[in-house]
Structure 1
Amino acid sequence: MKNLFITTLLLLSFSISAQERFIDNAFNLQNTVTRTYATKNGEALKLDIYQPEKDTMQQRPVIIFMHGGGFAGGTRTNPAEVKFAENAAKKGYVAVQISYRLTRKGQSFGCDYKASGKIETFKLAAEDFMDAVNFMVKNKDEYGIDTSKIIVGGSSAGAEAVLNAVYNDRLMFKDPAKYKNIDFVGVFSLAGAIVDSRYITEENAVPGIFFHGTEDNLVPYATAPHHWCDPNQPGYIMLDGSRTITQKLANLNTAYMLYSFKGGKHEHSGMPFNYLPEVFEFFNEVLLNGENQQIEVWR
């Protein structure tokens, strides 16, 4: 019986040691922490912080994610986003889900809404996003965050805000220097796009993972009008989607992974749970350990 007990302990010890941080679910979760990162026009903008329990690592990478919903709906507590954050925290990340101003709530964001208004919507959401990131940077010691390893992501509208903040900061912000203390190590985009890929340079060419349907009917896969509006409609604006962004990253010798779903529409803005092992492997190898991989997968 004593030998059996010792053998069991050895097997348990081996199982724990064999788990790889940032790849395997090696931790339980702390209770989720909710904080207000900004108050704008009387609205408290909140974020939820997911952390691994009993983690001895002093500085951990952080993943900050922004939900979708056409700038009119959605929530940081969407079940899919919560599941992703919990999954990340179990692997040793600090994971953050943020709320932001839903400036189009109850209103259109389609072809009947003027292009200039769409740009302003992107700007306000990008500002909220950067303010949330800045909040986490300022509180890095409280939550054990390594500010040299900030991964940011979003879905649909959230991805548009995040990608524009990262790659089109000169278009989004009157004073981009306001966020000069923030550096991103990678992006994670689900059916996102930016205003102009020509603003991606060697200085801001952040590696990324992109999921997109080739026939997305709302956010273009390559370069096309937002919502496929006609040129004579008020909401006509050209956007550069995942295909165009990754082509620019390839030209700049920057790492990326693009999942293209042939014939897929906007449903690929949903969390790709079937592919999360590959996502976290890319996070680990490329974003955290600096490998330069350029991967394209067709489904």
Structure 2
Amino acid sequence: MRRKAGLAALALVAGLGIAAAFTSPPALLSLADGALGGGSGASRPGSAIPFGNQGQTLDVWRPAGDSAAKRPVLIFWYGGGWVKGDRRAYAFAARAFAKAGFVVVVPDYRKVPDVRFPAFLQDGAQAVKWTRDHVAEFGGDPGRIALAGHSAGAYTVAMLALDRRWLEAEGVDPGIVRAGVGLSGPYDFYPFTAKRAIDAMRGVADPAMTQPLHFARADAPPLLLVTSGGDTVVRPHNAINLATRLRALGAPVTLRNYPERTHEEVVMALSVPFRGKAPTLADSIAFLNTALAPR
């Protein structure tokens, strides 16, 4: 028995090693997650579903073998510095939340250099509109929608939750956002120093209008902001400064800092292979279950 388990583990490692030559790191992580049990308990009833007016597509995940209606809904945006990423590569994140009882929508969005600010926010708002209009077809409750994302995806979460313009432009009531989870997101990063931020925000007349911190408001939906002491990509001051501003205004905000974790490890901890790295999933689910409790 032990020998068979060892051979299976070696086969998995070898297979993942071969796949690594052809696959992005998040996609490789999704393969490992699925092989180690993350693939059981979640299903994907919708794949490459068109939305918006720019040829965007999204996937929908939910608990496997479950017919319950009106489940809480989570829209998850992946990161990638506004220049890369693919919804399919983040199956590990979608499955983790689906297995916890959520209907999960994972949209793609346009990237730099083909577009710049605010195209990715417009795509995000159109994904919220699609979710409002169609998530009930997959068992989701359009009255209980939360947003979540990592890195550049967390930026979209914060901007859609705080700056009413983007949802209103799509004919969506900003109040539809019941809560937001931002993992390692940039919220206070002007002046722009990183190349990706410079490229993504190039040409903006008023840089303040790109900063989630600028739109902090007392009536913001509850936000969970997760950062980590080892994050040298999007440094902790982003989450700390936004949380401080929201608290001063009386808005509901929760700040979590995982001291030793890196930028990547915060989101990797949603996967089965790295779940022990940080309580990202447990903290997110506890927060969402409270924020999305039926009224």
Do the structures match in fold with TM over 0.5? yes
Q: 1:90-169 residue pairs with structure 2 within 5 A?
A: 90-104=99-113, 121-169=116-164
Q: Can you list the C-alpha shifts for 1:5-38, whole angstroms capped at 9, x where unaligned?
A: xxxxxxxxxxxxxxxxxxxx9x933344111112
Q: Residue type matched to 2:43 in 1?
A: Q
**Alpha-carbon shift at residue 146 of structure 1 (Å):** 1.4
Counterpart of 2:286 (choices 267, 272, 281) is: 281
Larger Rg: 1
Aligned twin of 1:22: none
1:68–1:155 Cα contact (<8 Å) kept:
yes
* 2:61 is aligned with 1:33: no
1:211–1:259 Cα contact (<8 Å) kept:
yes
Counterpart of 2:244 (choices 231, 243, 247) is: 247
Which has more helix, going by share of residues? 2
Q: 1:1-299 residue pairs with structure 2 within 5 A?
A: 28-34=41-47, 35-40=49-54, 44-78=55-89, 81-104=90-113, 121-170=116-165, 173=166, 176=169, 178-180=171-173, 183-194=176-187, 195-203=211-219, 205-214=220-229, 216-222=231-237, 241-262=238-259, 266-268=263-265, 270-273=267-270, 274=275, 275=279, 276-288=281-293
Helix, strand or coil for the counterpart of 1:72? coil
Q: Residue type matched to 2:146 in 1?
A: I
> Which runs of 5 or more residues in structure 1 are unaligned?
1-24, 106-119, 223-240, 291-299
Q: TM-score, normalised by structure 1?
A: 0.66
Measured on the aligned residues, the alpha-carbon RMSD in Å equals 2.8
- Number of aligned residue pairs: 225
2:148–2:181 Cα contact (<8 Å) kept:
yes
Helix, strand or coil for the counterpart of 2:81? coil
Q: Can you list the C-alpha shifts for 1:93-145, whole angstroms capped at 9, x where unaligned?
A: 1011111101236xxxxxxxxxxxxxx83411111011011011111331222
Calculate percent identity across the aligned residue pairs.
Answer: 24
**Alpha-carbon shift at residue 66 of structure 1 (Å):** 0.8
CA change 1:251–1:272 in 2 (3 A) is farther
Separation (CA, whole Å) in 2 of partners of 1:159 and 1:189: 4
Q: Can you list the C-alpha shifts for 1:63-107, whole angstroms capped at 9, x where unaligned?
A: 1111111111111122xx3122112222221011111101236xx
Q: Can you list the C-alpha shifts for 1:25-58, whole angstroms capped at 9, x where unaligned?
A: 9x93334411111242xxx211010022343432
Q: TM-score, normalised by structure 2?
A: 0.67
Separation (CA, whole Å) in 2 of partners of 1:158 and 1:196: 13
CA change 1:260–1:32 in 2 (3 A) is same
Q: Can you list the C-alpha shifts for 1:220-274, whole angstroms capped at 9, x where unaligned?
A: 422xxxxxxxxxxxxxxxxxx2111211332344433322244755335534333
